[in-house]
Amino acid sequence: MASTSLRQQLSIMRQSLFDEGLLDHEQVSYLETLENEDDPNFIENVFTLFLRDSSRYIDSIEKALETTPVDHPVTERMMYRLKGSSAR
Protein backbone atom coordinates (compact mmCIF):
# COMPACT_ATOMS: atom_id res chain seq x y z
CA MET A 1 0.00 0.00 0.00
CA ALA A 2 2.80 2.41 0.86
CA SER A 3 4.54 1.67 -2.43
CA THR A 4 1.32 2.46 -4.33
CA SER A 5 1.09 5.81 -2.60
CA LEU A 6 4.73 6.53 -3.41
CA ARG A 7 4.17 5.54 -7.04
CA GLN A 8 1.15 7.86 -7.19
CA GLN A 9 3.20 10.71 -5.71
CA LEU A 10 5.98 10.14 -8.24
CA SER A 11 3.47 10.03 -11.07
CA ILE A 12 1.89 13.30 -9.95
CA MET A 13 5.31 14.93 -9.55
CA ARG A 14 6.39 13.74 -12.98
CA GLN A 15 3.24 15.08 -14.62
CA SER A 16 3.72 18.38 -12.81
CA LEU A 17 7.24 18.68 -14.25
CA PHE A 18 5.82 18.08 -17.73
CA ASP A 19 2.97 20.56 -17.19
CA GLU A 20 5.36 23.26 -15.96
CA GLY A 21 7.66 22.73 -18.93
CA LEU A 22 10.59 21.66 -16.78
CA LEU A 23 10.74 18.27 -18.50
CA ASP A 24 10.21 17.63 -22.17
CA HIS A 25 7.80 14.72 -22.58
CA GLU A 26 9.31 13.67 -25.91
CA GLN A 27 12.86 13.59 -24.51
CA VAL A 28 11.85 11.62 -21.41
CA SER A 29 9.92 9.16 -23.56
CA TYR A 30 13.01 8.71 -25.73
CA LEU A 31 15.19 8.14 -22.65
CA GLU A 32 12.71 5.55 -21.39
CA THR A 33 13.21 3.57 -24.58
CA LEU A 34 16.95 3.38 -23.80
CA GLU A 35 16.40 1.84 -20.39
CA ASN A 36 16.64 -1.96 -20.49
CA GLU A 37 17.54 -5.00 -18.39
CA ASP A 38 21.26 -4.33 -18.84
CA ASP A 39 20.91 -0.80 -17.43
CA PRO A 40 17.65 -0.61 -15.45
CA ASN A 41 18.68 2.65 -13.75
CA PHE A 42 19.60 4.47 -16.96
CA ILE A 43 17.17 7.36 -16.56
CA GLU A 44 18.01 7.78 -12.89
CA ASN A 45 21.72 7.92 -13.77
CA VAL A 46 21.14 10.47 -16.55
CA PHE A 47 19.19 12.77 -14.22
CA THR A 48 21.69 12.33 -11.40
CA LEU A 49 24.58 13.27 -13.69
CA PHE A 50 22.68 16.26 -15.04
CA LEU A 51 21.83 17.59 -11.58
CA ARG A 52 25.39 17.07 -10.34
CA ASP A 53 26.98 18.69 -13.37
CA SER A 54 24.54 21.60 -13.60
CA SER A 55 25.10 22.43 -9.93
CA ARG A 56 28.84 22.49 -10.56
CA TYR A 57 28.43 24.71 -13.64
CA ILE A 58 26.19 27.16 -11.79
CA ASP A 59 28.65 27.33 -8.90
CA SER A 60 31.50 28.07 -11.33
CA ILE A 61 29.43 30.77 -13.04
CA GLU A 62 28.65 32.42 -9.70
CA LYS A 63 32.32 32.41 -8.69
CA ALA A 64 33.41 33.82 -12.07
CA LEU A 65 30.84 36.63 -11.79
CA GLU A 66 32.10 37.53 -8.31
CA THR A 67 35.66 38.16 -9.52
CA THR A 68 36.92 41.63 -10.30
CA PRO A 69 37.14 41.97 -13.19
CA VAL A 70 34.54 39.39 -14.14
CA ASP A 71 36.13 36.28 -15.58
CA HIS A 72 34.19 36.30 -18.86
CA PRO A 73 35.95 33.30 -20.48
CA VAL A 74 35.10 31.03 -17.53
CA THR A 75 31.56 32.41 -17.36
CA GLU A 76 31.02 31.84 -21.06
CA ARG A 77 32.52 28.33 -20.99
CA MET A 78 30.38 27.22 -18.02
CA MET A 79 27.22 28.73 -19.50
CA TYR A 80 27.90 26.92 -22.76
CA ARG A 81 28.36 23.63 -20.89
CA LEU A 82 25.19 24.18 -18.88
CA LYS A 83 23.25 24.94 -22.05
CA GLY A 84 24.70 21.88 -23.78
CA SER A 85 23.84 19.54 -20.93
CA SER A 86 20.24 20.75 -20.85
CA ALA A 87 19.71 20.95 -24.62
CA ARG A 88 16.76 19.10 -26.05
Over the stretch 45-69, which tens digit does the pLDDT of each residue have? 888 898 899 999 999 999 999 999 9
Residue-wise pLDDT tens digits, 5-21? 888 998 898 899 889 88
- Do 57 and 72 sit in the same domain of this protein? yes
Q: Are residues 30 and 46 in the same domain?
A: no
Query: Do 18 and 61 fall within a single domain?
Result: no
27 plus 50 within the same structural domain: no
Check whether residue 22 and residue 50 sit in a common domain: no
**CA–CA separation, 81 and 74 (whole Å):** 11
Query: Does 28 lie in the same domain as 44?
Result: no
Judge whether 82 and 54 are in contact, CB under 8 Å.
Answer: yes
The whole-angstrom separation of Cα 45 and Cα 47 is 5
Host domain of residue 51: 40-88
Q: How far apart are the first and last CA of the chain?
A: 36
Residues 87 and 49 in one domain: yes
Which of 1, 84, 10 lies closest to 43, judged by CA? Answer: 10
Q: What is the pTM of this model?
A: 0.66
Q: Is 7 in the same domain as 50?
A: no
Task: Specify the length of the chain in residues.
Answer: 88
By the 8 A CB rule, do 83 and 19 touch?
A: no
